[in-house]
Every structure is written in structure tokens, then in C-alpha cells.
Amino acid sequence: MRAAPILLSLLLTASALLYGCQSKPENETGTSNDRLTIYTTVYPLEDFTKKIGGDLVEVKSIYPPGAEAHTFEPTTKTIEQIAGADAFLYIGHGMEPFAEKLKETLKNEPVRFLAAAGGIDLLESSHEEHGEEHGEEHEHNAEEGGGGEHNHGDKDPHVWLDPIRSITIAEQIRDLLIELKPEQKEMFTKNFNTLKAKLEALDQTFQQTVQSAPKKDILVAHAAYGYWEERYGLRQRSVSGLSPTNEPSQKELAALIDWAKRHHIRYVLFERNIPAKTAEMVQHEIGAKALYLHNLETLTDEDRNQHRDYFDLMEENIETIQQALR
């Protein structure tokens, strides 16, 4: 995953030399295309920008369908496209390690960089991934160099899964679009207000779903759902950590399986774009069924073909949570 820093640095430097001084494409009249060209990382940034910008923006995520955002690195072609765009939107907080390096490399280009979650205080990874015994065992394994230490001090970057924090992200996008096209302030503001109302309604649906559920514990393959814990009172237990590559130690794994059996966990919640062999082993060990959550980092080809947006996918997630909490 981190073989990349030297290679990426060379790639960014080469790209800057090859693709510096890019200009926006011209239309048939020879004038600059009036639509804003914007690239993003995670899918909610793409969707929110489309909803706020409407026909005045052309937006695309740089992530291929089904990509794993934690390990993505841009290609030379992608860097060229970003250099020629009006803006590049990313989450920030180290979610996309390449982004800050890219920002420095393209500092002389007109493209605007926006860390859309930069002003949001991220949650610490405070959930008990491996059952009630996790705290003591986590400390023990950290001393031994086991898999538990990866969660100490980790920040959870998956802020877009929280509808209320997503309003702050949308505000950042609105303000950037107004800065780029001030004459369209009224339209951007109106579209933002519509989006905000939908996010608030989604939050209420999530609140009601969890509050009415007979239990609150879920077992997930990847610890991406801390914001649902904080806002809605879910309790996630996870097989891997905030990064899917952070695997549990053998003692943590045994404690997790024991916890799942004692709490009669019937489902393990997976994500389709992230391999989870260890979680599959846990699923078989405890005799649970598989359910799937969408982390919204990227869309699949099926998502795009069926024109699913942020709200479609989040409502599917709520239905999945409702089933898992029965």
C-alpha cells in the first residue's frame, strides 16, 4: 500500500512537467466551455457537487468502479485531467494520501483544491472491535506487537456516512461553486437547501430505524461505521480496523468469535468492494449469514447503470441495518 510514496512523487513531478499550463477545452465557438469541470475522490463528493451545481458542472470521481479508496493511487492520465480542471475535491485528513502531494505539485495550475471535510473534527476509533474483552486484550497485544495496536489514535475518515456531517461537506462544496461562479449564487444556494433538507430527512429515518430495533449490536468486516455508533447508538464490532488491511491478532479473533456466539449474532456485514477473507472465516465459524453495506467510497458498474445516488444507497444501508438488528 505504501510502496507508492517514491513512485508517486516521481509520477507527480513528471506529470507536472508534461501537463503544466493546461487550459480548459474550448467549444465550437472557440470560447471556453462555460460548465465547471470538477474531479472528486469518494462518491458522495461527486453526487453532492452534481446536486448543488446542476447543469453548470461536469463532475466525475477519479476512482474506477468498485475501487478500494484506501489503496488508490492516481495514474498519469488522471493527474493530467485534474490539472486541467476547475477544481479537485477530496475528503482530507489523510484519507487520500496522494492529494496533498498532488496539491503541491499542481500549485501553479489554476485548479482549485478543496478538502471538503477539512473543517470537521473526526471521531477517534473508539469502538470495541473484538468484544467486551477488547480493551484488556488490545493493550496486551499492543505490548506484544500484535494486530491490536493499529486502532490507537486512529481517526475515522468515513464522515460522509453521517448525514448531518455531510451537510457541512455540502456547505463547503456550495461555497466553492459560488466562488467559481458568483453569478449563480442563488441557484447553488437553492440546490444546497434542497440537498440539506434531504440529508436531514435521511438522518431522521436512520434515527427511527435504530431506536425501534430490539438490539443495537452489529458485526462488520471493516470498521467504517463509527459515525453511526456516535449518532444513532449502534455498537459495531469489526473484524478489520479502519483500514481493511488492519487484521486482528489470533487472540483478538478468538475473542471476537466468542463474543459473536454469546450474543447470538446472525449476520456479518460485508462491503462488496473490499475483500474480507478473515471476516468470511468468522461468518462460517459462527454460522451467520452475509449481508452487505455500501460504504459509498465508490460506485459499482451496477450502481451507475441503475442510476443509484447517495440517498438510494444510504436507504439500502438502513434496510440492511434494520434486518441485522432484528
More confident site: 92 or 16: 92
The pLDDT value recorded for residue 69 is 78
Average pLDDT over residues 116-120: 94
Domains 4-121+162-196 and 124-154+213-293 share a fold: yes
Helices and strands, counts by H and E, the chain: 12, 10
Angstrom distance (rounded) from CA 14 to CA 259: 51
- More reliable by pLDDT, 157 or 6: 157
Separation CA 322–CA 218 (nearest Å): 10
Helix, strand, or coil here: 320?
Answer: helix
CB atoms within 10 A of CB 138: 24
Burial tier of 170 (Cβ tally within 10 Å: 0-12, 13-18, 19+): buried
Q: What is the CATH number assigned to the segment(s) 124-154+213-293?
A: 3.40.50.1980
User: Is residue 297 within 8 Å of residue 273, measured between CB atoms?
Assistant: yes
- Structurally, at CATH architecture level, domain 4-121+162-196 sits in 3-Layer(aba) Sandwich (3.40)
Residue with cell 505539485: 105
CB 240 within 8 A of CB 248: yes
**In the predicted model, is pLDDT for residue 151 greater than 90?**
no
Taking the C-alpha atoms of residue 147 and residue 250, their distance in angstroms, rounded to an integer, is: 8
- The chain-wide mean pLDDT, for the chain, equals 85
Q: Which of 83-87, 216-220, 237-241 has the lowest mean pLDDT?
A: 237-241
Q: Mean of the pLDDT values across residues 85-114?
A: 94
**Per-residue pLDDT for 137 more than 80?**
no
Confidence class for position 11, pLDDT limits 50, 70, 90: low
pLDDT of 17 reads 43
Please report, for the chain, the start and end positions of each structural domain, with discontinuous segments joined by +.
4-121+162-196, 124-154+213-293
